[in-house]
Structure 1
């Protein structure tokens, strides 16, 4: 059977593609049905309709759930882009008819999650309370593909030192928001606090919490130790969970490497204290990543404006109150 644009337009429905995408995200027909508030037979029927139309299986079913066939991967890749455009159309129609409304999907890395994004969201809610902001936390290798196909509108996080990612994702671009520093921190009662400037050599034998090995921050931490003529500490836990790291440091011995902005609220609360290592450590630039192949909807455009205002406060504490 040869497909044409007209034949596909007549047979396929956006709702079928939405269900198919949810099934693959959930990894299960049952969980997809729950997420969509449908019955499992209804979801199964829609998948069968799609497979009947394409005259080929789209899913591989096993005891561990469902995955896409090769054809299914092709269909869902295009479906994500179509659904992203449908979401933008919905936002624009709502904004036109009701005023500022809609939804913005934001991917974020740990470095931007604790300070910059809350400020931007507060600004957005002051201007447009009806806009729903959905955050997705992940690593670059998860968030960039999602941004490329429209699953998220923007990604906020550290700009990689290696810009080869642009060769892998040529449709993506970035605007730098501000420069971020790093802090080496521990519980406020750590025995080396209050001893003035110390070195990494002094901290090396203590327990450390370091970022996971697939993260940009881990590469930075490895370079930090190497520059000091040290190997990675032997006593290490790997974690990107701020709350887990905070709990570990309450033993008043464990040391962690964290983005400066991520530590501020815990330092202010007396839970953490930063070590004076004699000179500031640069983490890199924090940027807003976007797809130059897709126009942002009104909600996402408004959020990006709020993000830029919040970034000014990150780079200039004098603007911490943020004009509204």
Structure 2
């Protein structure tokens, strides 16, 4: 028998969806129970209730934890959209009753600015100190799907060069905030820092840290070497972990790439220094992504305004 909205609303409850979401995020019933401050049998009972309603398992349990079935993936995808709307409703009610408050979830690409995001957060807290902000770090192909279904409210990061032609533009929009440069960096005592001006070819034979294939930054890097008529280096570690990369560069041989703002903030005390490369390196635009189909709650709307204000105050040093 086909379900109707009325029958679903009578049997399926929001708190059950919250528990299902937390079980999947935690990877196990035990850890989810700890996060939710519930007993493990209580969590198990709720999962059984949902599965009984759908007459099919939503989770596969094993010694390694739990994973979603195909039906479970479908249910959770829709559930997360509903939970995002419920969070927005809660924010709007709180804002109406108490003034600006609520919760905003901000995703940030690993390549995002290290100064604009903190500045936007400070501006938000000056205006609405009671707003809770959760930061999620990830890559483009992780955060934008989460933005579509409402797991995150906004994403701050680099705008792909081919953004206008991408499929995501049907469901997402972006505020262009500013343009970022790219720096090639190494340890502060790297021997090539003694040279006044360098070409990419001068650094080619050294060990390199490159972004993983498929990442936005890797496409930029591939283009840099192609434009210089150089093959990619062969002595390579692939990593997007800034702290790991900086530690690797302390051998005073390894070189890598960072957005210039990040490189500037880490220079000196961070143990790295930018090379003086003769050709200016363009990293790309930094933007604030949001979903077209979903109205932002008061807290997220205010944060979006703060990112625009922060971009106006953001100064990129020469």
Measured against the shorter chain, the TM-score band is: over 0.9
**Aligned ranges 1:109-120 → 2 under 5 Å:** 109-120=109-120
Change (3 A) 1:113 1:37: farther
Deviation string 1:74-116 (CA, Å, 9 cap, x unpaired) is: 2111100110011111111111112211111011112225222
Deviation string 1:14-41 (CA, Å, 9 cap, x unpaired) is: 0001111111222211121122111110
**Aligned ranges 1:1-324 → 2 under 5 Å:** 1-163=1-163, 166-168=166-168, 170-267=170-267, 269=269, 271-315=271-315
* TM-score, length basis structure 1: 0.93
The structural deviation recorded for 1:163 is 2.8
Contact 2:180 2:259 in 1 (8 A): yes
**Rounded Cα–Cα distance in structure 2 between residues aligned with 1:26 and 1:235:** 37
**Rounded Cα–Cα distance in structure 1 between residues aligned with 2:108 and 2:229:** 33
Structure 2: which 5+ residue stretches go unaligned? Answer: none
Change (3 A) 1:166 1:199: closer
Deviation string 1:240-270 (CA, Å, 9 cap, x unpaired) is: 1111111111222211111111111112537
Change (3 A) 1:58 1:270: closer
RMSD over equivalenced CA pairs, Å: 1.7
**Rounded Cα–Cα distance in structure 2 between residues aligned with 1:290 and 1:234:** 38
**Rounded Cα–Cα distance in structure 2 between residues aligned with 1:67 and 1:165:** 34
**Rounded Cα–Cα distance in structure 2 between residues aligned with 1:38 and 1:11:** 21
**Rounded Cα–Cα distance in structure 2 between residues aligned with 1:199 and 1:5:** 64
Deviation string 1:104-163 (CA, Å, 9 cap, x unpaired) is: 101111222522211111111111111111111111111111000000000111111223
Partner secondary structure for residue 240 of structure 1: coil
Deviation string 1:176-226 (CA, Å, 9 cap, x unpaired) is: 111111001111211111311111111111111111223110111111112
Contact 1:111 1:261 in 2 (8 A): no
Query: Comparing 176-185 with 259-268, which one deviates more in the overlay?
Result: 259-268
Change (3 A) 1:249 1:163: same
Change (3 A) 1:227 1:316: closer
The structural deviation recorded for 1:229 is 1.4
**Rounded Cα–Cα distance in structure 1 between residues aligned with 2:16 and 2:250:** 50
Change (3 A) 1:66 1:243: same
**Rounded Cα–Cα distance in structure 1 between residues aligned with 2:112 and 2:104:** 17
**Rounded Cα–Cα distance in structure 1 between residues aligned with 2:243 and 2:106:** 21
**Rounded Cα–Cα distance in structure 2 between residues aligned with 1:163 and 1:316:** 23
Contact 2:113 2:261 in 1 (8 A): no
Partner secondary structure for residue 170 of structure 2: coil
Structure 1: which 5+ residue stretches go unaligned? Answer: 319-324
**Rounded Cα–Cα distance in structure 2 between residues aligned with 1:91 and 1:251:** 49
